Structure 1
Amino acid sequence: MKYSSDPESPYLFSCSEEGKYSCNNIQLEVDHKTGNSKIKFNQTKIYDIKNVLTLSGTISGQLQQDPSIVNIPASGRYDFTYQLSDNNQIIPIENSNFTQFHFTNHNIQEFTTSPLPSKGFLYVKAVNNIVDEVSFFSILLEGYGYAFWDRESKTNIQNISYNPINLTVTLNQFKFSSDGYPDLYLNGMTGP
């Protein structure tokens, strides 16, 4: 915990988990269903280099939306491929299941398949249950390397969908374009 009554002040009041300046007499209450929270201070001492402050009282807060409950579904088997427009070969993506999950706030979900560049990887970011960004990388794409898409480009929107219940992403002829390179198409479904 850190405190300063003046943001310009060089004095920073704090306490720690243990030791001489431990944070005693603090009670934290969080309602995981609503996101409402409350911190109660009961003669809690915080310190700077020379001074001690004693806190008594309550700080409370609430979320604008109830928090999401995240249940990671059982792992599935997914078929996921890519293809370049100048080559008819359809290449399966190894390890196409999501292996990394990041949940920020109640409305941002990020997923990554194998983070190993040698295997190639797909990154998907969903905001408010709508896909907002997609990145793809494979060392097998000589010269192409890294492909990126975001919703602001207003392309491909009908070619991608996200199911927030089972955390799957479906791509249908999802196209990355880059000047000087053939178009890259992603097809299939991926998820946990």
Structure 2
Amino acid sequence: MASLPKSYKAAVVEKANGPFNIKTVDLKQPSANEVLVKSLACGVCFSDVAIATGAFGDIFPRVPGHEVVGDIVAVGESVTHLKKGDRVGGPWHGGHDGICRSCQRGNFQICDNGEVNGMSRDGGFAEYVLLRAEATVRVPKDADPAEVAPLLCAGVTVFNGIRKMHVEQGAVVAVQGLGGLGHLAVQYASKMG
């Protein structure tokens, strides 16, 4: 594998309602619990628009993007379940502390000290992105990254809704609206029986 560059291009929003500027950013190596990913695809979610318009507060400058798929090019020293060359995804959930009350109940996505890719940490609208290992998921190498990316937000949202409702195989499921989430709900419900 070729050596890593010293810098890369990223779409940076510097202020609320400001433009996305393509900037050259210094490449950082992963900390102990992070992986560095070469981005292959990143979906655009309405929450990325909300981030760019300042709806989540003054979190600028920021690189949005939480539906990122790419290949790991460097691994932090404490990461044991992922390796260089793995294809992975970085969803909305960007990390959790594992010790707060929510985490102790298995609700990592609402961690008291959680991070969000593209909001509290830079996201995937860039050539490279640092992801926290505990919030990084493996993606099959033969899957199209552009088709997988939306599953990391809309797909997870719908899947968890169906799963938490304990829908039994053969049950009737009604989906109201076939937008970005609804069309996935129909597909999941069909495949889940």
The answer to whether the superposition gives a TM-score over 0.5 is no
- Tell me which of the two structures has the higher relative contact order, counting C-alpha pairs closer than 8 angstroms and 6 or more residues apart: 2
Larger relative strand fraction: 1
TM-score range, shorter chain: under 0.3
Larger Rg belongs to: 1
TM-score (norm: length of structure 2): 0.25
